[in-house]
Amino acid sequence: MFYMWQSIRYEFLKCLSVYILGKICYIWGMIEVEGITKRYGAVEAVKALSFSVGKEQVLGFLGPNGAGKTTIMKILTGYHFPSEGMARVAGFSVTDDPVEVKRRTGYLPESVPLYMDMTVDEYLSFMAAARLVPASEQKSALEKSIASCGLKSVRSKLVETLSKGFRQRVGLAQAIIHDPPILILDEPTSGLDPNQIIEIRSLIKELGKSKTVILSTHILQEVEAICSRVLILNEGQIAAQGTPEEIAGTLKGGDTWELLLKGSEIAEKCARLTQNAAGLATPNAGTVPEITEEDGLYRVRFFLPSQGGSSTGLSGEVIFDWAVAENLKILSMNRRKLSLEDIFVKLTTEAGNTTPRTTKAADTVKAADATEAVGVADAVDATEVTEVIDGNS
């Protein structure tokens, strides 16, 4: 009798701990990955990865072919077990509780698993039953997924007659049919035309307002358009994670400025700027700013390191003070930030890149693209430039 009660007590405490842990993960982080490694024979596809994804966040996996994106997704959905490390999804271990993990995730693999001889209604009804949606709720679940994915016009058609875009929508509908709190989408816009891509992106962005979403992609604009955070993978390791702006900050610690100037003796004056301005440097250390003459005007390009944590305002003051002192007119001014493409190329082509760059996650993502220098009023962060002008007028 004593041993029976001990066994019951043990099972009760185990269930209670799983419940409490699940609640904690739901509130603070829907997905927790610690030291995940996956080997296929002698090949390490994923190497000691650690990251977390919070509730109602959209995380983008970005990386070249073979970086390990699909392998991580298969581990998080319980289709593959890790060789080492731990992963929890909604509080459940992918190795100890794979069925519970699958109940709480919706998975869209790169090749959508569809039955071509079924209609859309038949296929989604089948998936609702397979996902153990209660019989009394299957009809409402079907209607909700069809409405969310814009499938009303094709619901009675055979899947084999649908376009690539509609098949992708059907695949997304089966992923949300059981209303999971987590969606894992492997290249959801692969092979779609531009209009279809826009529609699927809008749908994913809307789903991200109420669910935790992980998606993988090769498309840089897709990450900027959809994701609140990005995780850049290279050769099975994390090269960087955070927002594009945060990652850019860790890579360069400053800004590249480009000026269009009117005046004389530009080379000598730029040399004095290099020598006298504290912390000033050029893109190539040890050289003067790059100068190009254009119809009697001069285009000057140089790099200013961050000063006091933010380079923009202080750098602008240094530049304007220098121009006034040297009797130069600034006709245009542009601060060029690292684009996501710059970041991706740098991190995935760096020789010997083995040290992960981790940054604090922010709430929003902004595209970090360069703009043409067409005048001070149109410069990047024009309000900041205007404030500097006002302060020096």
| Gyration radius (Cα) of the chain, Å | 27
Give the integer Cα–Cα distance in Å for 51 and 60. Answer: 12
Q: What is the pLDDT of residue 56?
A: 83
Nearest to 87, CA basis, from 14, 34, 22: 34
**Averaged over 315-343, what is the pLDDT?**
80
- Measured between alpha carbons, how far is 356 from 240 in angstroms, rounded to an integer? 6
Q: Which tokens in the block code for residue 41?
A: 């024979």
Neighbours of 149 (CB within 10 A): 25
Question: Is residue 253 classed as helix, strand or coil in its secondary structure?
Answer: coil
Checking if the pLDDT of 81 tops 50, the result is yes
Q: What pLDDT digit, counting tens, does each position of 370-379 carry? A: 333 333 333 3
Count of domains for the chain? 1
Please, are residues 26 and 181 in contact by the beta-carbon 8 Å criterion? yes
In this prediction, residue 275 carries a pLDDT of 61
> So what's the pLDDT on residue 88?
94
Amino acid 4: pLDDT = 63
Query: What is the domain range of residue 274?
Result: 251-337+369-392
Q: What is the pTM of this model?
A: 0.65
Domain-embedded: residue 351: no
- Residue 19 covered by a domain: no
User: Is 297 in contact with 262 (CB distance < 8 Å)?
Assistant: yes
Asked whether residue 73 is assigned to any structural domain, the reply reads: no
pLDDT of residue 385: 36
Look at residue 358 and tell me whether its pLDDT is greater than 50. no
| pLDDT tens-place string over residues 224-278 | 888 888 898 988 999 888 887 677 666 655 567 788 999 888 888 877 765 655 4
Q: Report if residue 319 sits inside a domain.
A: yes
Residue 257 lies in a domain: yes
Residues 6+ positions from 50 with CB-CB distance below 8 Å? 33, 34, 35, 36, 85, 238
- Report pLDDT for 322: 81
Q: What is the pLDDT of residue 128?
A: 96
pLDDT at 183: 95
CATH number for 322: 3.30.70
85 assigned to some structural domain = no
Q: Is 186 among the domain residues?
A: no
In a domain, 262, yes or no: yes
Contact 97, 48 (CB under 8 A): no
Q: At 17, which helix (H) or strand (E)?
A: helix 2-28
Among the residue ranges 67-71, 101-105, 282-286, the one predicted with the least confidence is 282-286
